[in-house]
Amino acid sequence: MSEETKAEPTPPPADDLVTTQHSITVKRRKLNYTATTGRMVLKEEVLTDGAFDGHKPKAEVFVTAYTLDDADPAKRPVTFAFNGGPGSSSVWLHLGLLGPRRVLSGDVGSLTPPPYGIADNPETLLADSDLVFIDPVSTGYSRALKGEKPADYHGFQTDIESVGEVIRLWTSRNGRWMSPKFLAGESYGTLRAAGLAEHLQTRYGMFLNGLMLISSVLDFATLEFNEGHDLGYSLFLPTYTAIAHYHGKIEGSLHAALAESEEFASRDYPFALARGSRLSTEERAGFVARLAKLTGLSEDYVDRVNLRIEHLRFFTELLRDQRRTVGRLDGRFSGWDNDYAREALTDDPSFSAIMGPYTAAMNHYLNAELGYHNDLPYEIISRAVHPWSYKEFEGAHVTVAGKLAAAMRANPHLKVHIAFGYYDGATPYFAAEHMVAHLSIPQELHSNIESAYYPAGHMMYVHEQSRIDQSADLAKFVRGSSNV
């Protein structure tokens, strides 16, 4: 073969970042900022027979970063944000709450019809912190490279390691080691964030200023409804009460109803479940009546499920007489099914309400405004990550409570902000409160944890007033925890 006909070697994978300039006005202050979006190549060190054999490209991770122009890097905070799933891109926090542009999706009773809309977000956290949104491998435009196995990234520890490597790379390449640093995670992203706080400290010596945990789940035992494991029934109860109250099944004020529900869930309800058949007929009838009152369900139903109301069954049962189901992510939403004798809803009306607007807005925004073009589908929610591996927890339930506690003990300056939605049926607020109360930290470190509550669901920013209030709460948290 002649020299002229030899094939050119394939170039190694390289970052394909695109940079654009923008501005936004926040409280009469014009912010000029740079948006950098695209894929960063992750590499791993290769050893052959114990000898260093170079760095092998393994995956490309999609990020979108916003940095304020002419800011002092040593004093300017930076927040790394991601959603959960597992399998979710960062679109929800990006276009719903934190970013400089936001989707116009509407809310319960006034959903925006296609083709939806996108607008400036004058409440953006960019006013107080640079932002880096990260899409884990197989979400967004992030992919494993040719010849590599995506499943290598579809698990608890490998996910933390790969996202942690993105954070380290971005921090080093942008000269931000001396900046105040925060993580913002939602849902499974809160479990990732807590794990990352410990991982970044122990692997890279990177100590954080704060964690923003939105719709938090740090211990899966608080969400489970397994036979012989009754904790979840008590911890979901106040959320059932909130949703029932919203739909007119419980009278009076929401906070009075929640106070009564929390008291019952803390004391009498666990006692009743633990007693089992040892309850007298009169005692059981009393507990049935109280549960019915606090959930908006019939006494007959509560009795038939043996005092144990599983969450998917609740979402299907509450409005069965109206031939409606209620949302899991946000119990304020209601929808239809094709069979009203089902025990579990086949579609979450609260997710269906937001999937279209966020997908359209993200695809438009990246292409038309940020100038990033890719023929791959932007995976809003990727089913390809399942089954997700929890091999590190074989024989035990999944929890990062110990990792968060270890990170706080080693870094007593680490602050934690936890955001709760009263109508969140995916990660109920009372379950997260339970986990926080059992953290293995000294009493004085509990003052490092603050909580915020909103009359909304899992993505509480879908509710307009909650979005505005939450934006202010997060900005205040960042300002108060930056130490500059």
Which helix (H) or strand (E) segment holds residue 470: the answer is helix 464-481
| CA pair distance 197, 202, nearest whole angstrom | 9
Q: What is the DSSP letter of 296?
A: T
Q: Which of 461, 422, 475 is nearest to 236 (CA)?
A: 422
pLDDT tens-digit readout, 74-112? 999 999 999 999 999 999 999 999 999 999 999 999 999
Q: Which pLDDT belongs to residue 63?
A: 98
Would you say the pTM of this structure is higher than 0.85? yes
pLDDT tens-digit readout, 209-254? 999 999 999 999 999 998 889 999 999 999 999 999 999 999 999 9
| CA pair distance 184, 132, nearest whole angstrom | 10
pLDDT tens-digit readout, 293-327? 999 999 999 999 999 999 999 999 999 999 999 99
Q: Which pLDDT belongs to residue 56?
A: 83
Q: Longest Cα pair distance anywhere in the chain, in angstroms?
A: 95
Based on its alpha-carbon atoms, the radius of gyration of the chain, rounded to whole angstroms, reads 24
Which residues make Cβ contacts (< 8 Å) with residue 308, sequence separation at least 6?
Answer: 225, 230, 233, 273
Q: Beta partners for 25?
A: 30
Amino acid at 468: I
Helix axes 156-173, 188-199, angle to 10 degrees: 60
pLDDT tens-digit readout, 116-147? 999 999 999 999 999 999 999 999 999 999 99
46 in Cβ contact with 38 (< 8 Å)? no
Q: Which pLDDT belongs to residue 9?
A: 72
235 in Cβ contact with 434 (< 8 Å)? yes
Dihedral, 67, 78, 123, 355 alpha carbons, nearest 10: 90
For residue 7, pLDDT over 70 is answered with no
Helix axes 268-275, 231-246, angle to 10 degrees: 130
What pLDDT band is residue 4 in, cutting at 50, 70 and 90?
Answer: low
Q: Which pLDDT belongs to residue 484?
A: 81
What pLDDT band is residue 358 in, cutting at 50, 70 and 90?
Answer: very high
75 in Cβ contact with 82 (< 8 Å)? no
Domains of the chain as residue ranges with CATH: 12-221+354-481 (3.40.50.1820), 227-348 (no CATH)
